[in-house]
């Protein structure tokens, strides 16, 4: 098959590689000319994705994968077009911002040829595939979605990506591929397509064999992706509420959670200083955009968004004031081992510290000084004097950091429980939900 993949980001590029590796001709489209140039050179454009570099080095020279900025080069004649264009959420209103997706959809529709399967993998509010993309593509392309008379139109489905950055290829094998169409013919075409480009691990824990699962409708597939991620945000919100109470009464919530999860009906997640990334902080808001009465979801999202402020306030309570103190925030990334700041807790943490008059510095082993400075932060280097350190990302490197690496340290707040307490003997150390009541 000829396959076009629209948007070669941290999910789209591995998907394109997966399809090419399965034996198909793949053309990727992206508006970033520098990224396209790197892909065509067989060079990994971003670090951290297992096996991506080696696969690019094989597939591009073999002519199985190439990239372009021109939709007219990629879309015409394609058997399938897969879109993974980012969908943003407006910070002020909490509503989805379809700007980039609308532009990409119109561009592909201008070049769409009869008989093509169009699959959206970007997470969407329920009803978007049918209510927004179908009429837009039909209007621009002049084609009909799954014509009842059997003539050659196009098929449209929603099939959400369910992978994590850094382990995309493993996740593609591990989890069922959900497909929701607007017609039986479109669903059948999508099932056949994904069966041809994916392979699946055997799993005895599933109610049916691992593979491509027909969800019955695009709306069910849209809700499935939103529900599985919103569940995580709500679960973490509950864990954070437990952690805050545990701090107030002197209980270590980690022991409580481990005890609860020792039986099979409890699956409490871990509390922490922040919930970041492209998914968990965003998708609950997409869900709320079509179900505003979901008060549980809204409350959990607000609780998680408040955690950086809570962490900084705990540090302030111990020291009395943060005015004029040098505070190092350890970790710019939203989670360990990933070089990505999307909705990272670093932003709210830095803001909460700056509002209290602290001199804020930021450290991250995955970013150099130039990159940190570009965000407007003053870089911090281990070994420099500092009054307070706040661990924001669980990079494994921080497990080896000790008081000797933070000269003058008066307080450590480990928001991820990644540091070793033995390395901070004599220094007050706080965690989220640790129940500690140290004094400076």
Q: Are residues 174 and 280 in the same domain?
A: no
Q: Are residues 286 and 335 in the same domain?
A: yes
Residue 262: what pLDDT?
Answer: 98
Q: Are residues 190 and 274 in the same domain?
A: no
Taking CA atoms, 331 is separated from 138, 195, 261, in Å, by 46, 40, 28
Question: Residue 32 is part of a domain; what is its CATH number?
Answer: 3.40.50.720
CA angle 246, 251, 253 (to 5 degrees): 65
> Which element (helix H / strand E) includes 302?
helix 295-305
For the chain, what percentages of helix, strand and coil (3-state, to nearest 5) are there? 40, 15, 45
Residue 132: what pLDDT?
Answer: 98
Q: Are residues 168 and 310 in the same domain?
A: no
Taking CA atoms, 427 is separated from 55, 96, 178, 371, 387, in Å, by 47, 45, 50, 31, 11
Residue 47: what pLDDT?
Answer: 84
Q: Are residues 239 and 279 in the same domain?
A: yes
Region of residue 269 (left: phi > 0; alpha: psi -120 to 50; beta: else): beta
264: number of Cβ within 10 Å = 6
User: Rounded to 5 degrees, what are φ and ψ at 364?
Assistant: -155, 125
Tokens representing 269 are 């997640």
Q: Are residues 184 and 228 in the same domain?
A: no
3-state secondary structure of 145: strand
Q: Are residues 210 and 221 in the same domain?
A: no
Report the C-alpha gap between 199 and 201 in whole angstroms.
7
Nearest to 193 by CA among 225, 161, 167, 155: 155
Nearest to 20 by CA among 49, 38, 42, 46: 42
Report the C-alpha gap between 151 and 163 in whole angstroms.
35
User: Rounded to 5 degrees, what are φ and ψ at 388?
Assistant: -135, 145
Q: Are residues 135 and 12 in the same domain?
A: yes
Residue with tokens 């505003």: 292
Residue 90: what pLDDT?
Answer: 84
Q: Are residues 272 and 415 in the same domain?
A: yes
Residue 93: what pLDDT?
Answer: 84
Report the C-alpha gap between 62 and 79 in whole angstroms.
21
DSSP 66-123: EEES-HHHHSTT-SEEEE----EE-TTT--EE-HHHHHHHHHHHHT--TTEEEEE-S-
Domains of the chain: total: 2
Tokens representing 418 are 């990644």
Q: Could you report the average pLDDT of every consecutive run of 10 residues in the chain (440 residues)?
A: 97 98 98 98 93 97 98 98 94 88 98 98 98 98 94 96 94 98 97 98 97 98 98 98 98 98 97 95 95 97 98 97 98 94 96 98 98 98 98 98 98 98 96 89
pTM here is 0.92
Residue 92: what pLDDT?
Answer: 77
Q: Are residues 153 and 224 in the same domain?
A: no
Contact 217/180 with Cβ under 8 angstroms?
A: yes
State which of 199, 214, 229 marks the end of a domain. 214
Range of the domain at 351: 217-440
Could you tell me how many helices (H) and strands (E) the chain has, helices first? 16, 16
Q: Are residues 51 and 62 in the same domain?
A: yes
Contact 287/128 with Cβ under 8 angstroms?
A: no
DSSP 175-196: S-EEEEESSHHHHHHHHHHHHH
What is the maximum span of the chain, computed from C-alpha positions, in angstroms? 78
Residue 286: what pLDDT?
Answer: 96
Report the C-alpha gap between 121 and 98 in whole angstroms.
14
Tokens representing 18 are 């997966």
Both ends of the chain: CA-CA distance in Å? 65
Q: Are residues 209 and 256 in the same domain?
A: no
Report the C-alpha gap between 155 and 116 in whole angstroms.
6
């Amino acid at each position: 098959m000829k396959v076009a993949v629209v948007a070669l980001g941290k999910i789209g590029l591995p998907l394109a590689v997966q399809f090419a590796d399965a034996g198909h001709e793949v053309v990727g489209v992206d508006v970033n000319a520098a990224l396209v140039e790197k892909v065509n050179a067989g060079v990994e454009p971003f670090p951290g994705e297992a096996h991506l570099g080696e696969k690019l080095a094989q597939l591009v020279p073999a002519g199985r994968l190439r990239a372009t900025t021109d939709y007219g080069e990629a879309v015409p004649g394609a058997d399938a077009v897969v879109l993974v264009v980012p969908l943003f959420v407006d910070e002020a209103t909490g509503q989805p911002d379809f700007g980039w997706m609308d532009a990409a959809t119109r561009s592909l529709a201008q070049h769409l040829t009869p008989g093509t399967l169009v699959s959206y993998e970007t997470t969407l509010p329920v009803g978007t595939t049918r209510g927004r993309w179908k009429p837009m593509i039909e209007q621009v392309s002049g084609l009909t979605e799954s014509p009842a008379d059997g003539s050659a139109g196009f098929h449209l489905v929603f099939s959400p990506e369910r992978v994590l950055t850094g382990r995309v290829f493993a996740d593609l094998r591990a989890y069922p591929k959900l497909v929701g169409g607007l017609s039986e013919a479109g669903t059948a075409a999508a099932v056949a397509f994904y069966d041809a480009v994916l392979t699946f691990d055997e799993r005895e824990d599933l109610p049916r064999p691992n593979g491509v699962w027909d969800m019955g409708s695009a709306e069910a597939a849209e809700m499935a992706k939103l529900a599985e991620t919103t569940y995580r945000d709500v679960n973490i919100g509950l864990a954070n509420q437990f952690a805050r109470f545990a701090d107030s009464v002197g209980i270590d919530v980690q022991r409580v959670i481990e005890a609860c999860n020792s039986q099979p009906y409890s699956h409490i997640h871990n509390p922490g200083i922040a919930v970041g990334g492209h998914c968990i902080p965003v998708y609950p808001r997409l869900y709320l955009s079509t179900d505003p009465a979901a008060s549980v979801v809204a409350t959990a999202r607000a609780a998680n968004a408040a955690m950086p402020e809570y962490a900084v306030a705990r540090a302030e309570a111990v020291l009395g004031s943060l005015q004029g103190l040098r505070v190092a925030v350890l970790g710019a990334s939203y989670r360990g081992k990933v070089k990505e700041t999307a909705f990272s807790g670093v932003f709210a943490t830095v803001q909460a510290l700056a509002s209290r008059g602290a001199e804020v510095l930021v450290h991250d082993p995955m970013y150099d000084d130039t990159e940190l400075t570009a965000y407007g932060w003053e870089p911090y280097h281990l070994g420099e004097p500092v009054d307070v350190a706040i661990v924001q990302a669980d990079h494994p490197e921080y497990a080896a950091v000790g008081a000797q690496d933070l000269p003058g340290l008066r307080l450590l707040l480990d928001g991820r429980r990644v540091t070793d307490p033995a390395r901070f003997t004599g220094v007050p150390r706080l965690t989220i939900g640790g129940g500690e009541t140290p004094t400076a």
